[in-house]
Amino acid sequence: MGGGGVLMVLLASLTLLPALLALIGTGIDRFSLPRRSGGVPLSYRWSKVVQRRPWTAGAVALVALITLALPATHLRVGWSDAQNRPVTDTTRRAHDLLAKGFGPGMAGPLILAAPATPEGGAELRTAVRQAAGTPGVARTLPAGESAALVIPETGPQDERTEDLIHRLRAELPEQVLVTGSTAAAADYARHTADRLPWVVCAVLLAAFALLVPVFRSVVLPLKAIVVNLLSIGAAYGVVVAVFQLDVLGQGTAGPIDAWVPMMLFTIMFGLSMDYEVFLLSRIREEYLKDRDNTRAVADGLARTAGVITSVATIMICVFAAFGAFDDRALRIMGVGLAVAVLVDATVVRLVLVPAAMEVLGDRNWWFPGLTFRRLTPGQKST
């Protein structure tokens, strides 16, 4: 649905928007706000400050982004439940009472299932006796002729519960399946985690392949991808610190919902690349005038600062509003997207990009060219 929405906006911008602008004509500026004339824009002066000391500015920006991204190394995926709700929530209070009275594993029991045959029943009874003696199992309960419940000693979000699932699957008879909501959540979390690197590689390769012909440069697409990954890593780090490590002391610590990292990456990469392409396109236009890289970076940043800042402010406000939702996964998405846009529109666009482009100089615009020499009759190629 998200891809379809972007496609519709693209088609409208290529068809409906030009038609409307042609119909309205100069009347589009009838109610325009007055602009302040004269003076050097603040964004231009700021770019010059960064470009005078590009190594220092770039190093400071890198340290800031890496520091924000460090908590992401502890990322653990799973599923939110009542345990992650505020301590004043009635669902959370009921969960805590249940865990206190019957143990934390009662909130997510494992189900042993076997075929409804005499052989399956015998296998199930053997599995139940074997599971009862497995470390990490609090008790077992019958649930019918072909199923039984295994109550872990730990809660559904505990890493020891996932280890118990793997141990039971490895040790119990092959016909007996270890399932249930907790096991299914662990399976899906592992499934998405295993495929996230493939998604990241596919997105990066597609972005590189599309940006190289647009900018007629190999260096700029690589730089754009690297700085976008840094801003996304910073957003991941903030999300892990706030919602998994609970540095704010909200009492809602827990794993990040399994579908969130992949969705966050794809959406954040698209938004970050949008700003990057808009900025670099303007810088390239300025560079083609006189091949002055320093002036092109400063002018491009100055001419796009107002639009990018306005759009980023709107998006930050919209995404931050998700923080008021009761659903923890939506709060994670909102905070992650808001942080990504904020970092990209400030640290990356105002510091890292001009510093990196100043250090690289004319190498920003390197593009391999193939030259062919016309051969005269009788001459052999070398």
Q: pLDDT tens-digit profile of 80-137? A: 888 777 777 888 888 888 888 888 888 888 999 998 888 888 888 889 899 988 999 9
Under the banding of pLDDT at 50, 70 and 90, the label for residue 371 is very low
Question: Could you give the CA distance from residue 63 to residue 112 in angstroms, rounded to a whole number?
Answer: 50
Sheet-wide strand order for 110-113: 137-142, 147-152, 110-113, 177-179
pTM (global) more than 0.85:
no
Mean pLDDT (the chain) is 86
Q: Which of 350, 366, 365, 62 is nearest to 229 (CA)?
A: 62
Query: Any alpha helices (H) in the chain, and if so which ranges?
Result: 2-14, 16-24, 42-52, 54-69, 90-102, 118-132, 159-171, 181-215, 219-239, 260-290, 293-320, 328-343, 353-360
Taking each helix axis as running N to C, give the angle between helix 260-290 and helix 328-343, from 0 to 180 degrees, rounded to the nearest 10: 20
Return the pLDDT at 146.
85
Residues 18 and 318: beta-carbon distance below 8 Å: no
Q: What is the mean pLDDT of residues 238-247?
A: 91
pLDDT at 193: 87
Per residue in 212-224, pLDDT tens?
988 888 999 999 8
pLDDT over 70 at 374, yes or no? no
For residue 333, pLDDT over 70 is answered with yes
Asked if residue 250 has pLDDT above 70, the reply is yes
Per-residue pLDDT tens digits for 286-315: 888 888 888 999 998 888 888 888 888 999
pLDDT tier at 16 (50, 70, 90 boundaries)? confident
Share of the chain above pLDDT 70, in %: 93
Is the pLDDT at 46 greater than 90? The verdict is: no
Whether the Cβ atoms of residue 154 and residue 136 lie closer than 8 Å to each other: yes
Residues 133-186 pLDDT 10s: 899 999 888 877 788 999 999 888 888 999 999 999 999 988 899 998 889 988
**CA 213 → CA 10, 127, 217, 257, 367, distances in Å?**
19, 61, 7, 37, 10
What residue type is 238 in one-letter code? Answer: V
pLDDT computed for residue 381 by the predictor? 45
Q: Can you give the three-state secondary structure of 159-180, one letter per residue?
A: HHHHHHHHHHHHHCCCCCEEEC
pLDDT at residue 121, as a whole number: 84
Confidence at 59, pLDDT banded by 50, 70, 90 = very high
For residues 370-375, average pLDDT: 44
